[in-house]
Amino acid sequence: MIEIKNLNKYYGKHHVLKDINLDIREPGIYAILGPNGSGKSTLLKSIIGLVNPQQGDITMNGSNVAGSHAYRKDISYLPQIAKFPDNLRVIEMIGLIKEIRNEEADESELVRLFQLESEMRKRLRNLSGGTRQKVNMVLGFLFDTPYLILDEPTISLDPVSLTKFRKIISEKRKQGKIIIYTTHIMNLVEELSDHIILLLEGRVIFEGGIEGIYRETGSSSLENAISMLVDKNGK
Ligand SMILES: Nc1ncnc2c1ncn2[C@@H]1O[C@H](COP(=O)(O)OP(=O)(O)O)[C@@H](O)[C@H]1O
Ligand SMILES: [Mg+2]
């Protein structure tokens, strides 16, 4: 369970997260939506402890995450912009992540699923954007953790990989995990989300189930409903 209370983050004078309150308690899929720059990545990074908010509290299973590291072993994190050492080979990168986490894991099924067998000996800098994202995906799903935080996992994925991604997260949902993700693919959210959190300029402007968003806007297309809420709440 993740509880976020009165979270505020500033970058200099720029107020990036504004009084965020969230209760992520039930297992299932939480989709964080919102236009570019609305604070989605900053919110996810705050949960992981990669960003230090100036005000507010985040607790995981009742303990404050500030200054603590132990809780991170319960989280798998797929960053939006992965800054991996470019000269490493894929296989070395996977080894490095296991070493850093000090955990054993078997990547072979994921490697096969994303058809990365022939890429394993290549250096990261030589991979195409889509292949890089598939490697990112393997790293994100490598450890069996109760929480998954995925920042734009679907970026530059081809349709085949996207289908595999769908399968993995619906499986994780069945296993009772908490999955928090951002994406711009609205039909994915329509299919795979139990809870929507819509951010605009650092504020939560909608929180609830997909039915709630349809009811509130009178629209039955998620894309349309989101853009109506953004227009209504924007400056
Ligand atoms: N390290 C940083 N330093 C200064 N400003 C930042 C930094 N990271 C993000 N921002 C700003 O914070 C706002 C929210 O960014 P971000 O959380 O990445 O949004 P999103 O993921 O929704 O696109 C943006 O205006 C962005 O420019
Ligand atoms: Mg982002």
Strand partners, 182: 32, 151
CATH code (residue 112): 3.40.50.300
Q: By residue range, what is the domain housing residue 101?
A: 2-233
- Orientation angle between helical segments 222-233 and 210-217, nearest 10 degrees: 60
Distance between CA atoms of 130 and 232, rounded to whole angstroms?
35
b/e code 150-169 from CB counts within 10 Å (16+ = b): bbbbbbebeeebeebbeebb
The pocket around ligand 1, CB under 6 angstroms, is made up of 11, 14, 16, 34, 36-42
Q: Which ligand is nearest to the CA of 43?
A: 1
What pLDDT does residue 63 have?
Answer: 86
Q: How far is the CA of 42 from the centre of ligand 2 (A)?
A: 7
**Global pTM?**
0.96
What pLDDT does residue 170 have?
Answer: 97
Q: How far is the CA of 161 from the centre of ligand 1 (A)?
A: 28
**Which of 162, 177, 208, 170 lies closest to 192 in space, CA to CA?**
170
Task: Count how many domains the chain has.
Answer: 1
Ligand 1: nearest atom to the Cα of 42: 17
CB 124, CB 138: distance < 8 Å: no
CB 180, CB 48: distance < 8 Å: no
CB 149, CB 78: distance < 8 Å: yes
Helical H runs in 105-221? 108-113, 129-140, 159-174, 186-191, 210-217
Q: Which ligand is nearest to the CA of 34?
A: 1
Report the chain (235 residues): mean pLDDT per 10 consecutive residues.
Answer: 97 97 97 97 95 94 84 92 88 94 94 97 94 94 96 94 96 98 95 96 96 94 95 87
Using CA positions, which residue lies closest to atom 1 of ligand 1? 11
What pLDDT does residue 166 have?
Answer: 96
Q: For residue 224, what are the CA distances in angstroms to 204, 216, 218?
A: 18, 12, 10
Counting every residue written for the chain, the total comes to: 235
